[in-house]
């Protein structure tokens, strides 16, 4: 139709945005390019002016989602610090909230794509790992002031992210069938993490190890 370069770049972004939302909600295999193009406001033919293939789009979607997710995370850290709040506490509260559970399409892409990424193309998988690595660094930086164990902040960031993402996915997995259980999952994860973040409190003791192996 004749379109300026700026307009074309903007249209490309519209396709990625529509794909991000639809892919997270219904899965990459659950969304066709005709529907996707329509959702972005176009007819399907022009798709290949922007992307070499559907797989190429998938990679662009994950890359873009990781960038936006990382920027949002950085923004949340900054605004918590500006208010004098603990950024880690703020991050955990947001991550394990019912609002975040509902906002699959604009939520954290690490959890949003965690279950699917294994089966996506190489470009998407590499973008995911790059995003994970970057955000792990960001996460590590807000749990810096740990005591007792120097150099273990990265391990702590990984474990904490695993727990939060696991609880979020599990809660999303059951929310439709059993909303009460879904809420309980978020609550239980929040509780355990609070115990972790407040050492010395009675809640620290979570499991008693019997080490029966030795006798």
The residue ranges that bind DNA (CB under 7 A) are 1-8, 11-12, 31-35, 37, 42-50, 53-55
Q: Choosing among a second copy, DNA, none, which partner's interface includes residue 179 (Cβ < 5 to 8 Å by kind)? A: none
Out of 3, 9, 34, 155, the residue judged to bind a second copy by CB under 8 A: 155
Does 118 participate in binding a second copy (rule CB under 8 A)? yes
> Which residue of 1, 43, 145, 151 would you call a contact of a second copy, by CB under 8 A?
145
Q: Which pair of structure tokens corresponds to residue 154?
A: 């990265």
Q: Which of 128, 137, 140, 150 binds a second copy (CB under 8 A)?
A: 128
Which of DNA, a second copy, none binds 162 (CB below 5-8 Å, type-dependent)?
Answer: a second copy
Which is closer to DNA, CB of 23 or CB of 95? 23
Which residues fall within 8 angstroms of residue 157, CB to CB, at 6 or more apart? Answer: 136, 139, 140, 143
Examine residue 33 and tell whether it contacts a second copy (CB under 8 A): no
Separation between Cα atoms, residue 39 and residue 89, nearest integer Å: 37
Which listed option, DNA, a second copy, none, makes contact with residue 2 (CB within 5 to 8 Å by class)? DNA
Is the CB of 16 or the CB of 167 nearer to DNA?
Answer: 16
Cα separation, 34 vs 38, in Å, equals 6
Q: Give whichever of 50 and 172 is closer to DNA, judged by the CB atom.
A: 50
For 132-143, letters b (16+ CB in 10 Å) and e give bebbeeebbebb
By C-beta, is 49 or 146 nearer to DNA?
A: 49
**Shorter beta-carbon distance to DNA: residue 122 or 149:** 122
Q: What's the DSSP call for residue 84?
A: T
CB of residue 76 to a second copy, shortest distance in Å: 15
Smallest CA-to-CA distance from 168 within 180, 181, 186, 184 is with 186
Cβ-count burial 11-41 (b if 16+ within 10 Å, e if not) = bbeebbbbbbbbbbeeebeebebeebbebbe
Cβ atoms within 10 Å of 51's Cβ, excluding its own: 19
């Amino acid at each position: 139709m004749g379109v300026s370069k700026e307009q074309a770049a903007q249209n490309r972004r519209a396709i990625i945005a529509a794909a991000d939302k639809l892919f997270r909600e219904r899965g990459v295999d659950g969304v066709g390019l005709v529907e996707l193009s329509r959702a972005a406001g176009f007819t399907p033919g022009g798709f290949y002016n922007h992307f070499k293939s559907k797989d190429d789009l998938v990679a662009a979607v994950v890359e873009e989602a990781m960038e936006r997710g990382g920027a949002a995370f950085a923004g949340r850290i900054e605004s918590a610090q500006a208010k004098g709040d603990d950024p880690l506490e703020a991050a955990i509260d947001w991550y394990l909230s019912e609002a975040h559970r509902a906002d699959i399409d604009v939520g954290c892409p690490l959890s949003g794509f965690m279950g699917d990424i294994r089966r996506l193309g190489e470009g998407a998988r590499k973008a995911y790992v790059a995003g994970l690595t970057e955000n792990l660094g960001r996460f590590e930086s807000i749990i810096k002031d740990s005591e007792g164990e120097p150099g273990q902040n990265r391990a702590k960031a990984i474990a904490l992210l695993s727990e939060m993402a696991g609880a979020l996915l599990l809660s999303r997995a059951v929310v439709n069938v059993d909303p009460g259980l879904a809420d309980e999952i978020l609550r239980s994860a929040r509780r355990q993490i609070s115990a972790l973040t407040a050492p010395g409190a009675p809640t620290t003791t979570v499991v008693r190890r019997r080490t029966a192996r030795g006798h």
